[in-house]
Copies of this chain bind each other. A is one copy, B any other.
Amino acid sequence: MSKTSRGNFFEDFEIGQVIRHATPRTVTSGDHGLYTALYGSRFALQSSDAFARSLGYAHAPIDDLLTFHIVFGKTVPDISLNAVANLGYAGGRFLAPVFPGDTLSTVSEVIGKKENSNGKTGVVYVRSTGYTDSGTEVLDYVRWVMVNKRDAASPPPEPVVPDLPAALDPQSLGSAVPLLDTSNWDDDLAGSQFRFADYAVGEKIDHVDGMTVEEAEHQMATRLYQNTARVHFNQHTQAHSRFGHRLVYGGHVISIARALSFNGLGNAFHIAGINGGRHVGPLAAGDTVYAWSEVLDKVEMEGRTDVGALRLRLTATRNLPCADFPLKDGEGKYLDGIILDFDYWALMPT
């Protein structure tokens, strides 16, 4: 029996199977500092203990996407080492704040499985849950990946495709945010004069700035998350891939776009839920990421007057400024240069 894991293939997954992923991870202020250095995020709540305390937090929580990447990274060796593509996310809920000192682990359940018509690959659906060492669930989400079969001759399983919501009910969200004393919310320090009431459904916001990505940056980020997917790290083999180069971890793109979105959404301090996400195109080192957002919906939160929920569609592009909000062509196909289509609920003070 080989000591070395080469990852799971399509045949290895069974509906209902539960996988406890390796390497629990204590999040520290070191990770937080690296997150800032990698993305330059400027949301005040995550940046400042003093700002966080003034609102009712014990101190500053880590960035929601840092939680996401760490929880996600643990699943890679078991779920997607032989993935052809990371097809999508849905139903992601941020359930509790994460602070430096918390230890995160991830468990996944296989909830769907369907062979592709080519007989060589299949789609696997997993629900992954991140939790702290005290057992608090901090995040769960569904993702589905296209995975290679070990043997094209193995028979196709009975297809099981989970029923996934197009969008989460925002009333089910927000548990990662304590009831805030927003009388202390300081718009100057937060960096935006615009509150929940100032945004309109249908509004589009160009985030203006662009960020060029370097190999060392995306590799350091992806290793920080202990994500081991080979396409991100091995130029010796990637040189012979159809791309010819390493691929940037899709989550790195989400974090860049989210950080860029501060310019226009400075008070959208928390990602409460991920309705869906799709990595539409690859990103390579040397490319410059731009982003724009559209307000898809806005909802008052039942039982709390401190914050409201904005449903935002965050589009990221590659070498394509977003002043004219590029997305799809007349036939509904994504335009060249679109790399991310990400739909989430953000909370914003009222």
Chain A residues near B (Cβ < 8 Å): 3-6, 20-26, 28-34, 36-40, 42-44, 47-51, 59-60, 77, 100-101, 103, 105, 133, 188-192, 194, 198-199, 203, 205-212, 214-217, 219-224, 226-228, 230, 233-237, 246, 263-266, 286, 288, 319, 321
Contacts and interface: CB of A to CB of B under 8 A. Distances in A.
Contacts of A199: 3
Contact of A51 (B24, B30, B39): B24
A262 B48 CA distance: 32
Contact of A30 (B34, B222, B223): B34
How many subunits of this chain does the assembly comprise? 3
Given A32-B30, A217-B220, A191 B23 contact: yes
Contacts of A49: 26, 101, 103, 133
A23 B233 contact: no
A216 B286 CA distance: 11
Nearest to A203: B3
Nearest to A6: B208
B44 A24 contact: yes
A189 B4 contact: no
Contact of A4 (B32, B190, B221, B264): B264
B33 A47 contact: no
Given A28-B29, A38-B220, 13 more contacts: A3-B194, A20-B188, A21-B188, A22-B266, A23-B48, A26-B47, A26-B48, A28-B32, A37-B223, A42-B228, A210-B234, A211-B233, A214-B219
Interface of A is mostly: mixed
Which interface residue of A34, A192, A236 has the most chain B CB atoms within 10 A?
Answer: A236
Contacts of A33: 28-31, 33-34, 224
Contacts of A227: 40
B217 A263 contact: no
A4 B206 contact: yes
Contacts of A212: 215, 219, 233-236, 246
A214 B216 contact: yes
A98 to B, nearest CB: 14
Contacts of A59: 26
Contacts of A194: 3
